[in-house]
Amino acid sequence: MSIEPGPFRWTSASRSHAGLIREVNEDACLEQPERGLWAVADGMGGHALGEFASRLAVRSLVDLRPPQSLEQYVADVRERLQSANRRLRAEAAQRDVPVIGTTIVALVASGRHCACLWAGDSRIYLYRAGRLKLLTRDHSQVEEVRSRRHSSADETLHRPPANLITRALGAADTLEIDGSTVEVVDGDIFLLCSDGLSNEVSELAIEQALLPGNCRQACQALLDLALHGGGRDNITAVVVRAEDLDSPDRTAMHPVL
């Protein structure tokens, strides 16, 4: 799908797969280039109703009104996610289960800027000028240990399991959502993904999949790589490309008729 809001043409594609081990796909994704909105949610494995949680999270964003500004857009997304968190907490209490939860990452675009919002270990990458950059920071025990590490040689002896996350929708009454903003340039490609992809596919392989700039082909290539790597978890990829319609370089590429 593609759309041309403001100075950019946004093109995107998405793929989600249960993987090779799990019977149920607890991932969910949202792809709305016409609104400048994309999201990935990963229902918390090992907890009740992860599929319900991930789908509720993305459904909470589907009917957002068109943004007046990026700041307003971010505020609206945060408000919807807080509401989804309250709903998941109430649902867990009603069903008498400890947690019904999901990770969430969302990318919102307005004008010449994008904002990333996230809770959990699903990720957003930016591929620009041949280089891949991770825009999010995992909310996981592994990441907390890594951030505290200075030069301790025995840290690896106390490394927590990779799947223990420290923040998610539905995990606590108070939801903390991290955020960051990036100025968009022509040719930027964003990847939103669940950890079923990032745990199986190296950053070099991600770069190679995104290099051609075709969103649909990149999604399929990334899915194939994750399955080839073992497909031990649900796999979701949303690939988003920005084209600056006012770029001087783009104008120069087109011959005068």
With 0.85 as the threshold, say if the pTM is over it: yes
Q: Is the pLDDT of residue 157 over 50?
A: no
Query: How confident is the model over 52-65, as pLDDT tens digits?
Result: 999 999 999 999 98
The radius of gyration of the chain from alpha carbons, rounded to an integer in Å, stands at 18
| Average pLDDT over every residue of 212-237 | 97
Contact 194, 233 (CB under 8 A): yes
Q: List, as one string, the DSSP characters of 59-116.
A: HTTTTPPPPSSHHHHHHHHHHHHHHHHHHHHHHHHHHT-S---EEEEEEEEETTEEEE
Report strand pairing: 8-17 vs 102-110: unpaired
Query: How confident is the model over 84-110, as pLDDT tens digits?
Result: 999 999 999 999 999 999 999 999 999
Q: Provide the residue count of the chain.
A: 257
Domains of the chain and CATH, by start = 2-249 (3.60.40.10)
| Average pLDDT over every residue of 177-191 | 97
Residue 174 vs residue 148, higher pLDDT: 174
Confidence label for 147 from pLDDT (cuts 50, 70 and 90) = low
| Average pLDDT over every residue of 204-209 | 98
Residue 2 vs residue 72, higher pLDDT: 72
Token match 């943004």: residue? 67
Residue 248 vs residue 20, higher pLDDT: 20
| Average pLDDT over every residue of 164-191 | 95
> Can you give the pLDDT at residue 251?
45
> Can you give the pLDDT at residue 46?
66
Euclidean distance between CA atoms 7 and 106, whole angstroms:
21
Query: How confident is the model over 105-143, as pLDDT tens digits?
Result: 999 999 999 999 999 999 999 999 999 999 999 988 776
